[in-house]
Amino acid sequence: MLFVGVAFVLSMTIALPSKGWCGSKEKVFKIGYPQIISHPALNTIHKAFVEVMAKQGFIEGKNVEYKYRIPQSDMTVAKTIADQFVSERCDLIAPITTVCTQVVCIAAKGSGIPIVFSAVADPVLAGIVPSWEHPCSPGLKITGLSDYIPVKPQVELIKAICPKAKVLGAIFNAGDESNTKTVNEMRKLAPQYGLKMIEASVSTTADVHSAAVSLVGRADLIWWPMDNTTAAGLEGLISVCEEHKIPLFAPDIDSVKRGAIGCIYYTNYEMGKMQAQKAARVLRGEDPCNIPVSTYKSKARTIVNPAAAKRMAVTIPQSVLDSAAMVIKK
């Protein structure tokens, strides 16, 4: 009987499907996804990333486990999260924004874990990659997407809507290197369009309202670059601009929907889509060192919000309305 029992067990073992027994079970990829703060523009990138990854065959709950973390602009927390992703041996880390990418690079150096970032205006200036064409450096496997939007079309839109404006107030986090390229370009271009630029720096979301108040009576309009600190405090900024009738111009479509007058934009969904496409290539075995850092492929468009303009005592010219790709109807 003992022989028969052993033989039965052996036969059942052989008969069992190899899945789960011989290592052929479909791999579950662990993807670390740090997002510095929660606001609509970044949330749209995240939504697109997950959806497009699924279309690429990397499906949450099936063969992908996302470790989605938001440090809410706390850099100590951001560093802890990055270290956790490395200690947990994530298969890939997909940070959003410059500061998240910087801390992930420090944590992942020498680990072999590939990084595919997005929403980094100038990754070379930020010290993330040595060049756009050849992004990897010793100990770091990395590529990604830039969200840089040229400033000239933004200034042209501002002057088309506010032709008599003389002083542009800029609100941004001066400690965030992702703003450096855009702000420097605005400093250079503004005088060419008859605008003097004055600045109000913010360190936290709570600073945004007071920064806006500091520009009342000094600035004819307010603009900000693709700055996450300012975007997260947008409601306070809008309230000041509406109360004091100061035109407000945004860098992204979601902020115009929330109450800014207008912007030149690329879709945030496109950013997440392109990040996902690169991430899928890396997870399939392609070396990120051979994937150059790139910018949006979509065409820049104009979006305007006439109702927001009216609340700020501005009338958008018909020529701008006619040429806009999107006009917010509320």
Dump pLDDT digits (tens) for 169-220.
999 999 887 788 899 999 999 999 999 999 999 999 999 999 999 999 999 9
Q: What is the rounded average pLDDT of the residues 128-141? A: 97
* pLDDT over 90, % of the chain: 78
Question: Residue 72: is its pLDDT beyond 60?
Answer: yes
Name the DSSP letter for residue 35.
B
pLDDT of residue 230: 94
Q: Where in the chain is the domain with CATH 3.40.50.2300?
A: 29-147+268-290, 151-265+300-327
User: Distance between CA atoms of 226 and 252, rounded to whole angstroms?
Assistant: 7
Nearest Cα neighbor of 226 from 281, 180, 187, 272 is: 180
Q: What is the rounded average pLDDT of the residues 263-286? A: 93
User: Distance between CA atoms of 188 and 207, rounded to whole angstroms?
Assistant: 26
pLDDT of residue 28: 97
Question: Residue 4: is its pLDDT beyond 60?
Answer: no
User: Distance between CA atoms of 146 and 151, rounded to whole angstroms?
Assistant: 15
CATH code linked to domain 151-265+300-327: 3.40.50.2300
Nearest Cα neighbor of 229 from 196, 249, 200, 260 is: 200
Q: What is the rounded average pLDDT of the residues 7-20? A: 37
Sequence-distant (≥ 6) Cβ neighbours of residue 105 within 8 angstroms: 115, 128, 140, 142
User: Distance between CA atoms of 111 and 123, rounded to whole angstroms?
Assistant: 20
If pLDDT is split at 50, 70 and 90, which confidence band does 297 have?
A: low
pTM of the full predicted structure?
A: 0.76
Cα pseudo-dihedral 226, 294, 82, 229, rounded to 10 = 0
Q: What is the rounded average pLDDT of the residues 19-34? A: 73
Quick check: 98 and 126 in contact, CB under 8 A? Answer: yes
Q: Which two tokens stand for residue 124?
A: 């070379």
Name the DSSP letter for residue 314.
-
CATH code linked to domain 29-147+268-290: 3.40.50.2300
Q: Tokens 């929330």 sit at which residue?
A: 258
* Parallel/antiparallel/unpaired status of strands 221-223 and 167-172: parallel
User: Distance between CA atoms of 92 and 82, rounded to whole angstroms?
Assistant: 12
